Amino acid sequence: MLERLNPASAPAPFSRYSQAVLVPENYRWLHISGQVGCDLNQKLATGFEAQAELAWSNLVALLTAGGMSVHDLVKVNILLTRASDVAASRIIRDRALHGAQPASTLMVIAGLAHPDMLIEVEAIAAKAAV
C-alpha cells in the first residue's frame, strides 16, 4: 500500500496532495508521458477547462490500460501556460482524482509543444505486483 507522507516537520500541502509518497518493495511502476487536452483524433480542445478535462481523462485512460487507477498515483506534474488557470486546474484535478492525493508539482511555464496547448499532465503510478 502506498504511504502518503505529510509530516508535521514539513509545511502542509497548499491544496489536495501529499508532500511525499512512499512506495513499498515489489511494486510495478507506470510512468505516463505528458497528456494534453486532445481527443482520440488528436484534435486539441478549445479553452482551458475543456483541455484540462481531456488531459486528465487521457491520463486516467493510460492508468486503466496499465491496470491501475488514480489511487495508485505516486506523483503528478501539472504544467500550465497561464497563471490565471491555477484555480480552475485545481478544481478539475480534484474532480479527476476522486480523493486520491499523490505528490504533486504545479508549474506555470512559458509554453508547451504547440502554442495552443494550455495544460499538460504527466504522472508516475505504482501498484503491488501480482
Q: Is the pLDDT of residue 16 over 90?
A: no
Is the residue at 58 inside a domain? yes
Domain count, the chain: 1
Q: Residues 61-104: pLDDT tens digits?
A: 999 999 999 999 999 999 999 999 999 999 999 999 999 999 99
Write the CATH number for 54. Answer: 3.30.1330.40
Q: Residues 18-54: pLDDT tens digits?
A: 999 999 999 999 999 999 999 999 999 999 999 999 9
Is the residue at 3 inside a domain? no
pLDDT of residue 56: 98
Is the residue at 2 inside a domain? no
* Burial class of residue 28 (count of CB atoms within 10 Å of its CB; 0-12, 13-18, 19+): middle
Q: State which amino acid sits at residue 80.
A: L
Is the residue at 47 inside a domain? yes
Is the Cβ–Cβ distance between 59 and 92 less than 8 Å? no
pTM for this predicted structure: 0.93
Is the residue at 97 inside a domain? yes
Q: Is the pLDDT of residue 130 over 90?
A: no
- The span from the first CA to the last CA of the chain, in angstroms, equals 13
Write out the chain in H/E/C secondary structure. Answer: CCEEECCCCCCCCCCCCECEEECCCCEEEEEEEEEECECCCCCECCCHHHHHHHHHHHHHHHHHHCCCCHHHEEEEEEEECCHHHHHHHHHHHHHHHCCCCCEEEEEECCCCCCCCCCEEEEEEEEEECC
Grid cell in block for residue 15: 491544496
